[in-house]
Chains A and B, each alone.
Chain A
Amino acid sequence: MGSAALKVQGGKLLKARVETSGGRIASLKLTGDFFLHPEETLAEIETALTNHQLNESAITATISSLLQKNNAQLIGAAPEDFAKVIMEASK
């Protein structure tokens, strides 16, 4: 299990705990002081990224499309920031 933290410039603090297996995300927990409306979207993001390929742009795309699908608003961070901290935690 690896972990990483990222302070978004002008935004919030993101943390990821990631377990990997064969180039994929085996399990993932995202935490931080960001805002996400509706809040349940975070659990959906974690589910969508479980067994997901470890690829920064693909992770960004998955998060972005889930936010769009849920009409969700992420404040204090961007999908790219989540992807970055997940990749960092999986090193």
Chain B
Amino acid sequence: MNWRVIPLETCNAATAMALDEACGEYVKAGGPQTIRFWRWKPSAVSIGCFQSLEEEVDLAACKRLGVDFVRRRTGGGAVYHDYEGEITYSITAPEHFFGKDITASYKLICGWLVDAFAQLGIAAEFKPINDIITGGKKISGNAQTRRGGVLLQHGTILYDVNVRKMFSVLRVSKEKISDKMIAAAEERVTSVKKMSPATYEQTYDALVAAFTKGKETGIGKWTDAELLRAKELAETKYKTKEWNFQR
């Protein structure tokens, strides 16, 4: 079966997460394995499913800056998704495509990202568990879950980082910074724009090329059933206090 590619779209935080979940249900029911790309509008913070929203996110700063927030259903850390400065992808496919070994599957999918960065002239590498780094700085973060035989991996590609804004909405723990022996949080991340003359569009094109290389693919769209289900999940799960503030 061909991979379905859903081209870059714009979503709010709850809808973005709801579409990933609706897509997973569709793939579980026999729908096509899917690659999708999107950007977040309004800009948003997503937190890992085991994190505390209030510990990780400065909610007053979010309100002031018009930044949305959502809890993911994947683990991992808090991420600031800037509308102008970031591209997000997700891969949804039967688990057996990637095997049982979770670290190996991160490495495989992150390898597509490394290829995309290489096309942009950026020498990047996979850094277990779930990061991609260049020159020691993070340029992409990724997170995976497996449910009912379906793998979901989503991740972010930093195109242009506004570190001030990023770290005004994220609360970075002292433990994490000291461990990496980097005093300034600003030193931990980089972006495509800092490393390459590539435009946003060229970055997206490189991602599509790397993700679809060697695969039978077709440009696709959401089914009506997925859109309906995503709308339901956004309202009943991802927009609710019960979900977002559960930890």
Interface residues of A (CB under 8 A from B): 5-7, 9, 11-13, 15, 29-39, 42, 73, 75-76
Contacts and interface: CB of A to CB of B under 8 A. Distances in A.
Interface residues of B, number: 27
Contacts of B147: 38
Given A7-B179, A75-B103, A31 B129 contact: no
B50 A73 contact: no
16 contacts: A7-B173, A7-B176, A12-B77, A13-B173, A30-B50, A31-B52, A33-B48, A35-B75, A35-B129, A35-B143, A35-B144, A36-B50, A38-B146, A75-B75, A76-B75, A76-B129
B175 interface: yes
Contact of A5 (B50, B51, B129, B173): B173
A31 B103 contact: no
Given A7-B176, A15-B55, A39 B73 contact: yes
Given A34-B50, A75-B103, A39 B75 contact: yes
Given A15-B55, A75-B103, A37 B50 contact: no
Contact of A31 (B130, B146, B175, B247): B247
Contacts of B75: 33-36, 39, 75-76
A73 to B, nearest CB: 6
A13 B176 CA distance: 7
A33 B146 CA distance: 17
A11 B102 CA distance: 15
B145 interface: yes
B76 interface: yes
A35 B176 contact: no
B206 interface: no
7 smallest beta-carbon distances between A and B, as pairs: A33-B77, A35-B75, A7-B175, A7-B179, A31-B52, A33-B48, A5-B175
A29 B102 CA distance: 26
Nearest to B148: A38
A74 to B, nearest CB: 10
Given A31-B52, A42-B50, 7 more contacts: A7-B178, A30-B50, A34-B75, A35-B130, A36-B75, A76-B75, A76-B129
